[in-house]
Amino acid sequence: MCSVAKPRCARGQGCYHVRELRSELPPTVAHESNLCEKCLKADEQGADALKKQDSAAKARDYRRLESKASSDLIALKQELVLQLFMKRGPFWEAVKELRDRRNIKADPGLPSKRLLIPLPPPELAEQREQIETEEQREEWEEANGCWHDDLLSIVLEVVPERFRSIHSTTSYHAWYGFISACVLYDPPETALREFSEIGGPGATSLWLENANDHGNTYTMVASPIRRFRDPVEVRRVETEYWTALLDKLDELHLQPRELNLADIIEDIHQKFPYIRRTRAEAMNRLNKRRYIEVDDYTREADVREAFKMLTEAHKKRPRTGRPGRNRLTCAEAAILHDRHNFTYEQLKKRYGWQDETLASKYIKDGRSVLREGRKKLRGVLAYQR
């Protein structure tokens, strides 16, 4: 069953997000005909006052933090774009299947890098413009939900779990803009790296109860920080809930029939022992992940020392040697030099190299990447003939 997309701000293209913040679409709202929070505030405070508040928020000092995960995520997106350009690999196969199934004809192009929400396929875009009745809107929302499901299937197939976990800062929704661009467009050969920068996942900051209390906000791509409720408190709340519920079940329905709840549960366990056994075995199989708790009393030195303890527990950490040349950059450099007459000096400026002699090495590796792709593509075409 396809998921149903949520309704968006009733002001449509007149929404504050679209008009003032340059969003491509209005944000989603809980119910049809509702206004988003920004539009409501603009009505209450006046649009000019709200714009001043937003400008002040933008002026806050945002500092981007780097991490190995962020560089790994960038490398992943670049590899996916290379597969798309070379028309080979699991990502290309997944994109091709969706294009064929939906009869999508992709043209070379470079959508907006700020693609925070997925691009709709042509038929959905046309259908959205023709909505006049509530029935048509419901049909479009169902179709749009199916499109999101198609994008999700590709994310689950090609994106590693570490970059799409529901507890991660880079959940699968953040990939929809990039994946939709890959389905609807072919990357131009002169802008392969630029194409890989389209959409998310992007840098995120911590959710703060009162952001105004902080003079600056750090952001990070693929942050390793996770936000969970205290498991002890969760268990206490759940225990209180089930105790109150079962007490009322016993009081209202079992005692009038002279039945005892504890005896009923024990009878079931005696007759079906696998229920309790299955639960115990499942609990024993759950992984016990380790986290460093940071509260008001935790110092940076405490975190560093605790990290040493954690790394000691992971003796078989993946080896990371010196990174090789980026395959997408190599391919793009070779194309620019061989097909578009870029000089070594021009390539040096384009990629920010310190020495223009690096160009020859990137071009050589890029030619190998492109030859490998042509060989595999010729083999596929010969098999199809």
User: Are the C-beta atoms of residues 16 and 6 closer than 8 Å to each other?
Assistant: no
Lowest mean pLDDT among 3-12, 137-146, 247-256: 3-12
Q: Can you give the pLDDT at residue 385? A: 32
- Give dist(CA 220, CA 64) in Å, integer: 6
**Measured between alpha carbons, how far apart are the two ends of the chain, in Å?**
37
Average pLDDT of the segment spanning 95-99? 95
* Residue 95 amino acid letter: V
pLDDT higher than threshold 80 for residue 165 = no
pTM given for the model: 0.66
Mean pLDDT over all residues of the chain? 81
Lowest mean pLDDT among 128-132, 158-162, 374-378: 374-378
Average pLDDT of the segment spanning 31-48? 71
Q: Can you give the pLDDT at residue 11? A: 75
pLDDT higher than threshold 70 for residue 142 = yes
- Give dist(CA 188, CA 328) in Å, integer: 12
Lowest mean pLDDT among 73-77, 108-112, 186-190, 206-210: 206-210
**281 or 8: which carries more pLDDT confidence?**
281
Alpha helices in the chain (DSSP H): 16-19, 37-45, 47-59, 68-86, 90-102, 122-129, 134-158, 176-184, 192-196, 231-249, 261-271, 273-285, 300-313, 327-340, 344-351, 358-384
pLDDT higher than threshold 80 for residue 171 = no
Burial of 341 (0-12, 13-18, 19+ CB in 10 A): exposed
- Give dist(CA 18, CA 270) in Å, integer: 62
Lowest mean pLDDT among 94-103, 147-156, 294-303: 294-303
Q: For a pLDDT cut of 90, what percent of the chain falls above it?
A: 37
Q: For a pLDDT cut of 70, what percent of the chain falls above it?
A: 79
**318 or 337: which carries more pLDDT confidence?**
337
pLDDT higher than threshold 60 for residue 208 = no
pLDDT grade, residue 377 (50/70/90)? very low
Q: What is the pLDDT of residues 48-61, one digit of tens each?
A: 665 565 555 554 55
pLDDT grade, residue 382 (50/70/90)? very low
User: Are the C-beta atoms of residues 149 and 3 closer than 8 Å to each other?
Assistant: yes
Q: Can you give the pLDDT at residue 34? A: 76
Q: Can you give the pLDDT at residue 243? A: 93
Please state the separation of Cα 165 from the chain's center in Å: 9
Give the list of residues 6+ apart from residue 292 with CB closer than 8 angstroms, or none: 303, 306, 307, 310
Q: What is the pLDDT of residues 304-331, one digit of tens each?
A: 888 888 887 776 666 655 567 889 999 9
**Residue boundaries of the structural domains of the chain:** 1-59, 61-220, 229-281, 327-384
Burial of 93 (0-12, 13-18, 19+ CB in 10 A): middle
